[in-house]
Amino acid sequence: MKKIFLTHFCVLLLLLSGCSQKIEKRSFSKGTIVLSTSSDPKSFNPIIAKETSTTLITGFIFEGLVRINGITLEVEPCLAEKWEHDKSGKIWKFYLRKGVKWQDGEEFTADDVVFTFNSLIYNKEIPTSSRDIFTIDGKKIKVRKINEYTVEFQLPEKFAPFLRLMTQEILPKHKLIDKVKKGIFNSSWGVNENVENIVGTGPFKLKEYRPGEWIILDKNPLYWKKDKEGRKLPYIERIVFLIVADPNMAILKFRAGEIDVISIRGQDYPVLKPLEKKKNFKIYKLGPSLGSEFLTFNQSLSAPIPKYKIKWFRNLNFRKAIAHCIDKKSIIKNVYGGFGISQDGPMNISSGFFYNKNIKRYKYNLEKAKELLKKENFYWKNSQLYDKDSHPVEFTILTNSNNFERIQIGNIIQDDLTKIGMKVNLLPVEFNTLVSKLSVSKEWEAVIIGLTGGIEPHGGKNVWMSNGQLHLWNLYPGNQITEWEKELNEIFEKGAKELNPEKRKKLYDRWQEIVAEKLPVIYTVNPVVMYAIKNKFGNIHPTVYGGVFHNIEEIYIKNE
């Protein structure tokens, strides 16, 4: 089974050596940076977005009151030029920049900040993950306007991650208030929206979207930020995202000069590395991804799947047996070309201060897996595994069809689970369909998927709290929350209010220990983040945390 990856790699070599001239070329104007994305966005609405296909685009259009420096990780002013808090740490005032314009020319004011929080984030009719993050002990933050350029936040409790979370995107009241009143906000700013209606304060604005082809962002001529010499930013005139579902085709387009910056996989490295000088680009190896890749099972008692399967999935020894069947060394070698590290919990070494290295790890051991299954009265007949009620152990793993690495990981897992008698079906589906199955129909048994990560644990509250918007495994009506899930809820409530960094770390250390022990998700491998970037750009400083474009407004094109 694992030989297919070598074959896949050889096909890629052949394509690179002889087929690049067949790629259809599209020319874009000078002053343009051309990127790629593997799927169409689901919407252009950052408040309800739950997928990176959307946030990848909206991140260039919208801004928060603060930003995080992608290199130093320090909090810096953005739409707010300064802030202050009282001695209690519960009352914060943000002083907004004057003269900031929305991309349609309307002035940005305190009304937009108050609207974003009170009418959108805290609106229970709007399914936003931000509400989880900005709720403390079940209580809202009171947000009120002091004057046109000052906003006050009254916190119900001390809230350690508050300032870092103020990167939250601010949306325009004048464009959206009527949609909220009419109850149609959730369907607003979809992919069929007139692009002129989608306005932010960020350095780029949406110019054109052609499904399956491209997304074009143009420079925002009204952008507030200037460089040290007083010149208006951004320097780059246009960003083009080519929608390329096949990562091999994206590599071909990069090599042919049609794409300027591309995230590369381990299997791409030996192909591209020898071409750096000839093709005038550089490969940056940044370290393990802050995100995560994992397998998880649907444990909800109300899920529309056979109840006996839910019983397997809720069984800890069943999940531990699965964990011992994850051949991480094989995944690192065959999927990531050696550029990966074993992942055992929700944070890794790239996360810095809050990473707990002392958590339970599950070595690849099929015999150990069998022992755990025997403890739960599973048995084998003609090499097929059955539960104690004589149901054959068979289930389907979903993953997104445009992510070849997840499909490859699924193939390896499928192969090893077959060795212990399980019948596993791997079903890749289109990404937006996958999101709908997970969040709408709930008709899924297992899924291989990933989540973005960060250096602040509280950013994951919407995943780990039992009522979080991105809580996957046991969210739906009729669920039974276990004692350890209750402890996770308590950790995230306490961690938000604890201001002492060392005490906060102890809380989040415990979170990582629980996740590693109870396995609500079964982690696979963290890939090393790598980018291939054309040498024509200046002010490029990629990092694991900030990616390539944390300073997009300052990046420029040399000699154009």
Domains and CATH numbers, the chain: 30-61+202-289+536-557 (3.40.190.10), 66-177 (3.90.76.10), 292-527 (3.10.105.10)
Return the C-alpha torsion angle 301, 302, 305, 309, nearest 10.
0
Share of the chain above pLDDT 90, in %: 74
Is 93:147 a contact under the CB 8 Å cutoff?
no
pLDDT at 27 over 70: no
State the pairing for strand pair 556-557/537-538: antiparallel
Cis omega before residue 392 (within 30°)? no
Measure the CA–CA gap between 259 and 21, rounded to whole angstroms: 15
pLDDT at 24 over 50: no
Measure the CA–CA gap between 61 and 84, rounded to whole angstroms: 27
Measure the CA–CA gap between 6 and 88, rounded to whole angstroms: 60
pLDDT at 3 over 70: no
Is the torsion defined by CA of 433, 549, 289, 405 positive or negative? positive
Q: What is the pLDDT of residue 472?
A: 80
DSSP letter assigned to residue 370? H
211-220, 313-322, 489-498: lowest mean pLDDT where? 489-498
Measure the CA–CA gap between 64 and 75, rounded to whole angstroms: 11
Measure the CA–CA gap between 34 and 447, rounded to whole angstroms: 32
Q: What is the pLDDT of residue 453?
A: 82
Measure the CA–CA gap between 400 and 457, rounded to whole angstroms: 26
Q: What is the pLDDT of residue 356?
A: 95
pLDDT at 130 over 50: yes
pLDDT at 395 over 90: yes
Q: Which residue has the higher pLDDT, 104 or 460?
A: 104
Rounded to 5 degrees, what are φ and ψ at 415?
-60, -45
Measure the CA–CA gap between 318 and 472, rounded to whole angstroms: 18
Q: What is the pLDDT of residue 97?
A: 98
pLDDT at 7 over 70: no
127-136, 345-354, 461-470, 483-492: lowest mean pLDDT where? 461-470
pLDDT tens digits, one per residue of 534-547: 999 999 999 998 88
Instruction: Supply the pTM of this predicted model.
Output: 0.78
Q: What is the pLDDT of residue 499?
A: 87
pLDDT tier, 331 (very low <50, low <70, confident <90, very high otherwise) = very high
Structure-block tokens of residue 248: 């091999």
Measure the CA–CA gap between 76 and 84, rounded to whole angstroms: 13
DSSP letter assigned to residue 348? -
Measure the CA–CA gap between 92 and 100, rounded to whole angstroms: 21
DSSP letter assigned to residue 44? S
Q: What is the pLDDT of residue 435?
A: 82
Structure-block tokens of residue 170: 């601010």
471-480, 499-508, 527-536: lowest mean pLDDT where? 471-480
pLDDT tens digits, one per residue of 238-293: 999 999 988 899 999 999 999 999 999 998 999 999 999 999 999 999 999 998 99
Rounded to 5 degrees, what are φ and ψ at 372?
-65, -40
Q: What is the pLDDT of residue 25?
A: 40
Ordered DSSP codes for 377-406: T-EEETTEEE-TT--B-EEEEEEETT-HHH
